[in-house]
Amino acid sequence: MTKTGGNRYGTHRTIEPKGTLPQPSWKLDNSMEIWDNELLIDVETLNVDAASFRQISEQAKGDPEQIGEIILETVAKRGKQHNPVTGSGGMLIGSVAEIGKSLQGKRDLAVGDRIASMVSLSLTPLNIQEILAVHPATCQVDVRAKAVLFESGIYAKLPADMPDKLALAVLDVAGAPAQTAKIVRPGQTVLIIGGGGKSGLLCLHEAKKRAGITGNVMALCRSEGAAERVRQSGLADVILRGDAKDSVAVLKLVEEATNGQLADVTINCVDIPATEMTSILATKDGGMVYFFSMATSFTAAALGAEGIGKDVTMLIGNGYTKDHSEIAINTLRENSILREMFSKLYA
């Protein structure tokens, strides 16, 4: 008999600590008999977030088989893919296997529809039967698994005009370009830290579009490969080469590129820690810093800004904003160069 009375936010699935929300909890019930307000998903691919995958890969010394074992162990212990070191998860793609009775007829959704979850794996009950393949270059893991989405969980139907894994790669970071579209104004100077990465390139597209011909869009890249991707995209007015962990050196680069004016908006897309002060130093007083990276220490950011007397508005990288999936997917529809580049990298 179907279970009824489940909480819309999924607290009925929390095992430890009992009654807490699923994301901050330690362990979830990942049994796959759904409650009447849940969706059951046949999972095909996990897109582990970049900071988490980097940590797992370092722990596994780059061995794909060991990466898979670590993921299996995490899910077995916690009932979800919630990295205990980084605290982050990722997202998934799959097809709808079952729709709870109380949700039937209330969603534009049918059994068999292919979807991407737009909520973190760190709060998604997950049961992995088998890991089929690990793809380190894309942070994607092919699986035979099932997952549950709560009543409050958001999802996106996979678009018919692009391969699933390409859509997954973009939807995984959908919050970044969508938030960039909300933040950037015409004529502003914008710095994208990690501009040659997946989220960085999407943010560059939106920043260039919103800042317009009177704006100044800069990309900070550590490697020549990342810088070359930005060059090919044609989306940056200025490409800076530097280590985002070296705050003083990057500040000098930004000062030189802006005649000492600094950035109106800085968007941090890198997946490594200790880049908070670089973002803050590069931004002018009264400016805004958007930390999309899950490697960010918000304690370091808050205390660091205070310590140097910098008055900037700092935004936490909320992965959700209205219409974020549509904005992210449309970026590739609008930009053929990015689409070709992403197809080679992720599809």
pLDDT digits (tens, 9 = 90+) for 241-264: 999 999 999 999 999 999 999 999
Question: Quick one: what percent of the chain has pLDDT higher than 90?
Answer: 92
Q: Are the CB atoms for 141 and 45 separated by under 8 Å?
A: yes
pLDDT at position 239: 98
- Residue 197 pLDDT greater than 70, yes or no: yes
Fold classification of 175-346 (topology level): Rossmann fold (3.40.50)
The DSSP annotation for 124-148 comes to S-EEEEEEEEEETTTTEEEEEEEEE
Closest residue by Cα to residue 244 from 261, 229, 222: 222
Distance CA 171, CA 146 (A): 20
Mean pLDDT of all residues belonging to the chain = 96
Instruction: For residue range 286-341, list pLDDT tens digits in order.
Output: 999 999 988 899 899 999 999 999 999 999 988 888 899 999 999 999 999 999 99
Going by the DSSP 8-state scheme, the letter that residue 179 receives in this structure is: H
pLDDT at position 147: 98
What letter represents residue 323's amino acid?
Answer: D
pLDDT at position 318: 84
Does the model's pTM come out above 0.85? yes
Q: Which two tokens stand for residue 270?
A: 């890198």
- Residue 2 pLDDT greater than 80, yes or no: no
pLDDT at position 1: 59
pLDDT at position 155: 95
Sheet architecture: strand order including 155-157: 126-135, 140-149, 39-48, 90-99, 114-117, 155-157
Strands 140-149 and 39-48: antiparallel
Distance CA 91, CA 225 (A): 26
Domain layout of the chain by residue ranges: 11-158, 175-346
Closest residue by Cα to residue 239 from 257, 262, 214: 257
Task: Name the packing angle between helices 175-183 and 198-211 (round to 10°).
Answer: 20
pLDDT at position 261: 98
Task: Please return the burial class of 18, using the count of CB atoms within 10 Å of its CB with bins 0-12, 13-18 and 19+.
Answer: exposed
pLDDT at position 295: 85
Instruction: For residue range 118-158, list pLDDT tens digits in order.
Output: 999 999 999 999 999 999 999 999 999 999 999 999 999 99
Alpha carbon 38 to chain centroid, angstroms? 24
Instruction: For residue range 95-111, list pLDDT tens digits in order.
Output: 999 999 999 988 889 99
Instruction: For residue range 21-46, list pLDDT tens digits in order.
Output: 999 999 999 999 999 999 999 999 99
